[in-house]
Amino acid sequence: MVFARENMRGEKRAIAARSYSLAIIMLASVLLSGCTNPIGPPEPTASLTVDVDQINSGEPINFDARESTTPEATVIIQFSWDFGDGSTTTTTQGLTNHVYSTPGTYEVSLIVENDQGGTDETHWTIYVNAFPIVELLSQPTAKVGESITLNAEGSEDPEGGVLAWAWDLDLSDDSDGDGDSRNDVDSTASSITMILNKSGAFEGAVQVTDDRGASAREAFQVNVSTRTWQVTWEQQRVTEDWNGYLKQGESWTYSHEPGIKARLMEVNATLTLTMDLIHQLPQDNFTLKLAVPISGWDAESATSQENVTKSPTAYIERDGMNPVPTESSTYQSDYSEDLIAFILDNAAARFGQGNWTWQVTADEADPDFLVDDIDPDEGNDWKLEVEFIILVPRISEVFQ
């Protein structure tokens, strides 16, 4: 009997021990629910993403840790950021941003902490690209008509990447017509040669881009000076002559433009008729007319016979048509052609420019003597001779 009672007591103690151990295990399960560490406070789970993990130096990057979690009954209270470049920050929200000013590879660390003191850490690698280094060789001054070379082939990418070039050769000219004169691409070569076709100061720029999209831009300016010319005037005599045969009442008309690229100074025109065979007959009468519309000048002259031994003639003459220029003078102009046009377009020295129209009319060509009731000469031969005195500008460049 004594042995039976002892057995019963032992079984009761064993049952009690098992119940106590089970209670301890259940309590521990409740306290440690959601923890990865069986010892210590419940830990959160850190999560980190970025909008881009490759940027150019000086550009911002956004970090997002809002997907981080923590066990129930706990709250995340702090995000500790280490950007790997010596900069750190602490936030209560899972968002932040950072700017890397120096190229390189950076290891970003994030520690998430909850209100129970539990923490978790995660990492992200960021690559920061360097901008290309532009090496531009340009010529700051030149003359109109000269060529210059713009050379940027010495530019480099610090990471050794492949470069591309884009030249905007005139920042004031919208060559692609998109409304923005400062984004044109006039050439994609690393070095270009261009001819300067007008004077003045103009600006351009070259943009160098690496194979990761980083670009650097450098402007240049070229001062283009005009050219100096010396002008001298050469006097020339130019003659024109025409002839024909006109019956009474008929006219001959001719238009031309004398003194092209010259200054007209004098004109002498003589109309001569062939003398009639019978001197006693009244000589024929012709009229010479001239019209210069641009100058508003009209002239007219009828033939007359000074004596019976000379042919009838008519004259139109004019001198001092334009002022005599200075013997020699210097001018500034981009091109000699422009200078000639400027000189000849002088408002005070344009008389005689444009078309001249000559007209010869047979007013009276009847011999007044019939042979067997037949008019042996129904008209007359005539000849018009015109002499122009012109001044031609001769231009030579003065090198300074």
Check which CATH number belongs to the domain holding 84 and give it.
Answer: 2.60.40.10
168 and 97, same structural domain? no
263 and 384, same structural domain? yes
User: Could you tell me if residue 4 is inside a domain?
Assistant: yes
214 and 153, same structural domain? yes
Q: How many distinct structural domains can be found in the chain?
A: 4
User: Could you tell me if residue 352 is inside a domain?
Assistant: yes
Q: How do residues 81-122 score in pLDDT, each as one tens digit?
A: 999 999 999 999 999 999 999 999 999 999 999 999 999 999
Show which of 225, 257, 285 is a domain's final residue.
Answer: 225
**For position 1, what pLDDT does the model report?**
40
82 and 10, same structural domain? no
* Of the listed ranges 30-34, 62-66, 126-130, 169-173, the one predicted with least confidence: 30-34
Show which of 179, 206, 225 is a domain's final residue.
Answer: 225
Bigger pLDDT: 318 or 278?
Answer: 318
278 and 248, same structural domain? yes
350 and 259, same structural domain? yes
Average the pLDDT over 210-222 and give the result: 95
Show which of 225, 241, 257 is a domain's final residue.
Answer: 225
234 and 219, same structural domain? no
Q: Give the global pTM.
A: 0.64
**For position 69, what pLDDT does the model report?**
97
104 and 186, same structural domain? no
User: Could you tell me if residue 41 is inside a domain?
Assistant: no
- The percent of residues above 70 in pLDDT, for the chain, comes to 86
User: Could you tell me if residue 40 is inside a domain?
Assistant: no
362 and 249, same structural domain? yes
Instruction: Kindly tell me if the per-residue pLDDT of 313 is higher than 70.
Output: yes
Instruction: Kindly tell me if the per-residue pLDDT of 279 is higher than 80.
Output: no
365 and 390, same structural domain? yes
**For position 38, what pLDDT does the model report?**
54
Q: How do residues 329-355 score in pLDDT, each as one tens digit?
A: 899 999 999 999 999 999 999 999 999
User: Could you tell me if residue 306 is inside a domain?
Assistant: yes
Q: Work out the burial of residue 48: count CB atoms within 10 Å of its CB; fewer than 13 is exposed, 13-18 middle, 19 or more buried.
A: buried
Q: How do residues 221-239 score in pLDDT, each as one tens digit?
A: 999 999 999 999 999 999 9
305 and 191, same structural domain? no
Q: How do residues 248-266 score in pLDDT, each as one tens digit?
A: 999 999 999 999 999 999 9
383 and 334, same structural domain? yes
For 98, the domain range is: 49-129
User: Could you tell me if residue 371 is inside a domain?
Assistant: yes
